[in-house]
Structure 1
Amino acid sequence: MNTATATKSAARVADAVKVYGRGDTAVRALDGVDVTFPAGRFTAIMGPSGSGKSTLMHCAAGLDTLTSGSAFIGDTELGKLDDRRLTLLRRDRIGFVFQAFNLVPTLTVAENITLPLDLAGGRNGRSAGEWTDALIDVVGLRDRLHHRPAELSGGQQQRVAVARAFAGRPDVVFADEPTGNLDSRSGEEVLNLLGRAVRRMDRTVVMVTHDPVAAAHADEVVFLADGRLVDRMESPTADKVLDRMKAFDSKGAPA
């Protein structure tokens, strides 16, 4: 990891509040969250069901808006962008990997991977081609480029989705339960792939997960409970994360 990059913020939220509904039915999904996702790092977001982890990711990525507080990609404050500029920012500076692979069934693997670049008008020319070529090797899909999604296993489809997310060299890739539809072996391959993208290609990943084994692939885990950031863990292991999650069940917050 590039130590100079590690101190830079890829994404962050400040005093983030998100309220759904009004009056007696209002739900405070985020309650004054301050968290920074460093560039060049793999960060996992965990917490009990309803803790606000997916809401945090959606607001940090500009897929949803905060009720109050601020969200930034780099130094750009998302709340100050109009719809057009926010759409362009998500296209050019953010990658997404979802539980459902969201591939275009009529396109080949190669076409699915380069789709963000094609939508952006083929930015970066030759350097984009070189980057995509290197990415294909990182995700191990060289022999599948002319196949369509229906001809691939679930794990292979998610590897295509990961490659597509990184194709435009985004500032940060947000992954929402990326192994949720995969068996343990395929899930492990995808998690190793995300880790390699961070460490070999100096990328940034923020992943929401409920799985301690998945979280153990990250450099750091941030824990939410009741819409608040309650703990952080560097160099996580599956056992340490599981112990921390058990504390939520027994006490409502980590010990």
Structure 2
Amino acid sequence: MTTATARPDAARVVDAVKVYGTGDTAVRALDGVSVGFPAGRFTAIMGPSGSGKSTLMHCAAGLDTLTSGSAYIGDTELGALDDRRLTLLRRDRIGFVFQAFNLIPTLTVAENIALPMDLAGTKGSRAWTDALVDVVGLRDRLHHRPSELSGGQQQRVAVARAFASEPDVVFADEPTGNLDSRSGQEVLGLLGRAVRRMDRTVVMVTHDPVAAAHADEVVFLADGRLVDRMENPTADKVLDRMKAFDGKGAPV
């Protein structure tokens, strides 16, 4: 499933169903979702609490498995991979940014950024890394350790690390959740710059309409189902759409 730009999907799910538990206690977190995330685009996933947005991201990224349906990175179906090949795919083709920065405290900024390549046993492109450092504005912090940085700077390191190995897609789960508004805006801005200046792909889960407005498109979930898509979002338009959900997460 692609948008009008006709770009191929960097990631997608088809008829995705995820059920937690069994019997009377079973929870259907995803209920037949089919959605694509176009390459070279910034897509935000939104929905009320319990709508399935984090579950969708985790299944699309291979961090969790679907009960039924399919998840793809490019043309590779994740469900067809054994654990070793899935681990390699996540390492080589996917980047992650989480609410917690997850930096290694004993490593410098430069070493944290290079960690994915070090784990893979590759050097990566020096030109790419240099460009990335400039995009995230960390040139003067490369020899600092995380404890010497602000929260916003630490998250910028995490973003740089996610893009360092030139992955097909970067998944960001509430990346500004631990940041003040100014630092959050900086991190969202650099995610947008990575997409537009470096032709990267970002899929971000967020509950914040202001954060979602940085994306090229927002997809909305409710009760585990895809209920809407919005191109060229603004904070006001996203907020208005979110107000159309009742307290149970269903569209009104």
TM-score by length of 1: 0.95
Secondary structure of 1:7's partner? coil
How do 1:137-176 and structure 2 match up within 5 A? 137-176=134-173
Q: Judging changes above 3 Å, is the alpha-carbon distance between structure 1 residues 6 and 114 closer, same or farther for their aligned structure 2 residues?
A: farther
Deviations 1:97-137 (A, max 9, x none): 0000000000000000000011111254xxx1111111000
Shift of 1:4: 11
Match of 1:40 in 2: 40
Match of 1:111 in 2: 111
Extract unaligned runs of 5+ from structure 2. Answer: none
Deviations 1:40-86 (A, max 9, x none): 00000000000000000000000000000000000000000000000
Extract unaligned runs of 5+ from structure 1. Answer: none
Shift of 1:249: 2.7
Shift of 1:164: 0.1
Q: Judging changes above 3 Å, is the alpha-carbon distance between structure 1 residues 31 and 113 closer, same or farther for their aligned structure 2 residues?
A: same
Following the alignment from structure 2 to structure 1, what is the Cα–Cα distance between the partners of residues 121 and 110?
16
How do 1:68-79 and structure 2 match up within 5 A? 68-79=68-79
Deviations 1:19-55 (A, max 9, x none): 0000000000000000000000000000000000000
| Partner AA of 2:101 in structure 1 | F
Residue 213 in structure 1 maps to residue 210 in structure 2: yes
1:177 aligns with one of 137, 157, 174: 174
Following the alignment from structure 1 to structure 2, what is the Cα–Cα distance between the partners of residues 5 and 203?
15
Secondary structure of 1:247's partner? coil
Q: Which deviates the most, 5-14 or 50-59?
A: 5-14
Secondary structure of 1:199's partner? helix
Q: Which deviates the most, 154-163 or 129-138?
A: 129-138
Secondary structure of 1:43's partner? strand
Following the alignment from structure 1 to structure 2, what is the Cα–Cα distance between the partners of residues 4 and 130?
32
Match of 1:223 in 2: 220
CA contact (8 A) 1:231 1:254 kept: no
Following the alignment from structure 2 to structure 1, what is the Cα–Cα distance between the partners of residues 4 and 28?
36
Secondary structure of 1:132's partner? helix
TM-score by length of 2: 0.96
Following the alignment from structure 1 to structure 2, what is the Cα–Cα distance between the partners of residues 6 and 139?
29
Q: Which deviates the most, 104-113 or 242-251?
A: 242-251
| Partner AA of 1:46 in structure 2 | M
CA contact (8 A) 2:13 2:69 kept: yes
Secondary structure of 2:64's partner? coil
Following the alignment from structure 2 to structure 1, what is the Cα–Cα distance between the partners of residues 83 and 250?
37
Shift of 1:6: 5.4
Following the alignment from structure 1 to structure 2, what is the Cα–Cα distance between the partners of residues 4 and 212?
23
Following the alignment from structure 2 to structure 1, what is the Cα–Cα distance between the partners of residues 65 and 17?
10
CA contact (8 A) 2:49 2:249 kept: no
Q: Judging changes above 3 Å, is the alpha-carbon distance between structure 1 residues 5 and 112 closer, same or farther for their aligned structure 2 residues?
A: farther
CA contact (8 A) 1:218 1:235 kept: yes
Following the alignment from structure 1 to structure 2, what is the Cα–Cα distance between the partners of residues 14 and 187?
32
Match of 1:25 in 2: 25
